[in-house]
Structure 1
Amino acid sequence: MEASKHEGAYRSGNYRNLLLDYGYDEEDIAIRVEQTWQLLFGDNEATRIYYPVGDDMGYMLDTGNDDVRTEGMSYGMMMAVQLDHKEIFDRLWRWTYKHMFMSSGANAGYFAWSCNKDGTKRAHGPAPDGEEYFALALFFASNRWGDGPSPMDYSVKARELLHACVHKGEDGIGHPMWNPHNKLIKFIPNCEYTDPSYHLPHFYELFSLWAYEEDRTFWKDAATASRNYLQVACHPETGLAPEYAFYDGTPNDERGYGHFFSDSYRVAANVGLDAEWFGSSNWMRQQTDRIQAFFADKHADDYRRYKISGEPFEEKSLHPIGLVATNAMASLASSEGPYARANVELFWNTPLRTGNRRYYDNCLYMFTLLALSGRYRMWFA
């Protein structure tokens, strides 16, 4: 990476509260964080996405698809560890480990990406974005709260999971989640293309510290590979990234996912958090300015699916509030950029989503609120 303008919290130990820097009141920020947590994890039926089960378990519901996904479970665990809600973290992890973990077959060691609310599996394959969030949330839990008896031996489970992600298939059974040659994450293990929004180099930097020692070089290389990859996957003028892409960064439209749509929104947020944790590069600032400029003259009610070159489709965005949130989170990479404050203001003035599509939008909303308020942190022992 180029020399950083913003040093990053990993080196400085300081997490910016960009909302405070932009003039919002600290008490109002704290209230918003707590209210948002309660709206997602409490009993408000219009906004909740967390549902307790029995005495010691719970799940995150994808309200648009009426299922439980590794994406949502791992997101919920990350939110819980960031805000020190150990009981809810453990409830989510117990449900995940009981119902989603696969102990046999080609995908042994991974988690089934979709289950019914009663825990029965709807699929027997994994989605790598869930695995990477599980691993880091577990490491953070270990560092904040300490390991306990299985399955609460958080760091052990994280290391085992990452080892499977890298080494699966070496015995001829199954496939790894990262291509062993180019170190890029796959969309699913048994394919050879990727999803740009899965690329989390800031996570891999931490995996390189805490994974099994023999795997640490791989994760350090993966961080570099993903940062380089995003520079070729994001359009050089619009900043838009496709949902699926080949390893050279070109859109993979074989199944109609080679355009900017729901998955793609997360790229901007990921760049923002990488900048906050490990420092912003020239490209990160330019990328943020590009995508924020692209949406500067568009209203959230009219967000659409776009070609990455910017041409709109008739199809409207399924998750406009999620897109508002991720574009605001990107401001962490270019906090003095021409559109940064406007995106944060739009986010601050946008409420949580209600209705059956609320799950994805509100997950992205919560992560953005954590990041912009300096509460999305790396937890060290």
Structure 2
Amino acid sequence: MADDLAARVEANQQKLRAELKSHYDFIICGSGSSGSVVARRLAENADVSVLLLEAGGSDDVPDIMSASRWPALRRGEHDWSFNAMPNPRLNDRAIPMSMGKVLGGGSSINVMVWSRGHKADWDGFAAEAGDDGWNYQSVLQIYRRIEDWHGAPDAARRGSGGMVFVQPAPDPHPLAAAMIEAFATVGVRTFDDQNGVMMEGHGGAALTNLCVRDGRRQSIFRSYVSPIMDRSNLTVLTGALVTRLTLAGKRVTGVEVAYEGKMRRIGAGEVVLSLGAIHTPKLLMQSGIGDEAELKRFGIPLVQHLPGVGQNFQDHFMAPCVWESCGPIERRNNLTEATALWRSDSALEVPDLQTLIVEAPYASPQAAKDPLPPDSWSLTNAVLRTASRAASD
């Protein structure tokens, strides 16, 4: 059955690429998690034509598909390999920022841990937006609909039969259990499910939820788009870098895209930008949409003055710690089989830190300085509620 689908997909996509249209009903720029979901939803309507553009290449490579090989993807050909500006508070180090340059985007190079967000985060979004559709109870129903959960049943919080395969880390390494036990000894409550009750209170420690099936990555592209690429109304184009939006006045009419060594213009009824936190504002500014003074510096004609474009970038930094092991560590699942959400201060209502175990050496070369011992493991700690924002030049 899978082989039959693969053959149909290959033949169909070859035909669609050879007969590339000059106009589509919808063009989706970027095949990451959001772009893949949008492409699937739109292409389910057989009456519309959909073009999904991806600057990177195919995800059908061993380092992507094998769940334990994600460390090899960092700073490789499937990573845009961005760097932050040198930070004087970090000895002028430029912190690396990974972003997927491949079908599936970040979901094809990430660690495959399914983290649904804390109740306080979703309720906070709803309060800021003044819209209950963003609150935890509303979003929980969406999660239940899209999940295909293969862990302990929890009818109130987990779903089955959805497109996203999720399971607790099966047969985890003893290091994962040791991490959970260590957190329990300092008063952090342990749970059976990372995304159940644990996401509604003060945090806790648990085995991770994984988007991994039979040792293979289940990216959002593989979950949503791959199964319908035999449809005649969905064209998926790789190696297609969107450089500019085309406009009639202030109305977007399509895209300008570098493809097969040529610059092409393709029209659309609607264009959806899902290029990530760096490429999306970049494309808008290249198209004349952004801060007028900033565009003027680069000689870009102004279409719409929107000073917020490209501003207020925020990220949560991670600080790994590495321990050398007395012997080789067997690689299991995605190498990241346990997590803890905890509070730096017991007076806080919600967790502000997250720890993940990595059953391999994991640290930036600049911080490590010397090669890390191959037989080692890591705890990487992330700050969840950062207050800083990137400042413009």
* TM-score, normalization by structure 1: 0.27
Q: Which has the higher strand share?
A: 2
Please, what TM-score do these two structures have when normalized by structure 2? 0.26
Q: Could you say which structure has the higher helix fraction?
A: 1
